[in-house]
Amino acid sequence: MSAEIINGKDLSLALKEEMKKEVDTLKTGGIHPQLTVILVGDHPASRSYVNGKEKACGETGIGSHIIELPKTVSESDLLKEIHRLNGDTNVHGILVQLPLPVHIDEQKVIETISPEKDVDGFHPINIGRMMTGMDTYLSCTPYGIITMLRSKNISIAGKHAVVIGRSNIVGKPVAQLLINENATVTTCHSKTENLKQFTRIADILVVAVGKANMIDASYVKEGATVIDVGMNRLENGKLTGDVDFDSVQEKASFITPVPRGVGPMTITMLLKNTIKAAKRLENREG
């Protein structure tokens, strides 16, 4: 048996084609979706992510603007810029690229972004709406994971899902989204004892720990669906996930690769949230 691959890159391309048509229709009606990204400093990984978002916006017709601020920018000046964008009716989505320099409080920045323009889905109000099953902007990586599962008609309701990782960006929200889909969810993390006793009974295993090839076939139930959120660069420069792909592929029924797995879906769901924000805000103002 060899697992079927859930190719996030291919799914992302298909979704962007659909979004391009939707954006064209919106523009015909006078709505021009606009995403503004604030980049503080010149961290190479952050710049790469921001460039990827700009490219994806271009592919779907979404307006994109990058505001570059020096690493030395004060917290108060950054917050002023966010307040300005909150009040700009031409801007529908605001994203501040993380991480930020140590002198800036990331949580304060996240909470300053208007919940109506928080297309990253990080604002506590949007997290609360997600927790209670309300319509909101979903955190992009978890949203992408659920979309990938649906794309293969993988049953979630009634299944046992195990999430390894409890970050605010992936672990916690993906666990909640799986609960919202009626899965029974166990969250494991660095303090979990006897990790294998949980992972071996998972119908759906989501791995977001940041350790290259940590999860091999011995952790996985026969026929499980395995979602690898990890993105690690080995000494030889090769990208790899948190899952030992070659061994797990022989045991799982579905698996995501790294690269071309969850990564491309994260930016795609950001675009989806931006389009949603444009429709909401313009309809309200109109």
Spatial separation of the C-alpha atoms in residues 283 and 286, rounded to whole Å: 5
User: Is residue 165 annotated as involved in ligand binding?
Assistant: yes
Give yes or no: 97 in active site.
yes
User: Is residue 76 annotated as involved in ligand binding?
Assistant: no
Contact 8, 264 (CB under 8 A): yes
Catalytic residue among 16, 34, 97, 249: 97
Catalytic residue among 16, 34, 53, 276: 53
Catalytic residue among 16, 118, 120, 249: 120
Give yes or no: 120 in active site.
yes
Tokens of 19: 């979004």
Spatial separation of the C-alpha atoms in residues 169 and 156, rounded to whole Å: 21
User: DSSP labels for 154-220?
Assistant: ---TT-EEEEE---TTTHHHHHHHHHHTT-EEEEE-TT-SSHHHHHTT-SEEEE----TT-B-GGGS
Tokens of 240: 């790899």
Spatial separation of the C-alpha atoms in residues 45 and 102, rounded to whole Å: 17
Q: Are strands 232-233 and 239-240 parallel, antiparallel or unpaired?
A: antiparallel
User: For the chain, what is the radius of gyration of the CA atoms?
Assistant: 19
Pick from 200, 237, 238, 233: nearest CA to 216: 200
CB-neighbour burial class of residue 137 (10 A; exposed 0-12, middle 13-18, buried 19+) = buried
Please give the DSSP secondary-structure letter assigned to residue 118.
Answer: B
Tokens of 166: 């409890």
- Enzyme catalytic residues: 53, 97, 120
Annotated binding site for NADP(+): 165-167
Annotated binding site: 165-167
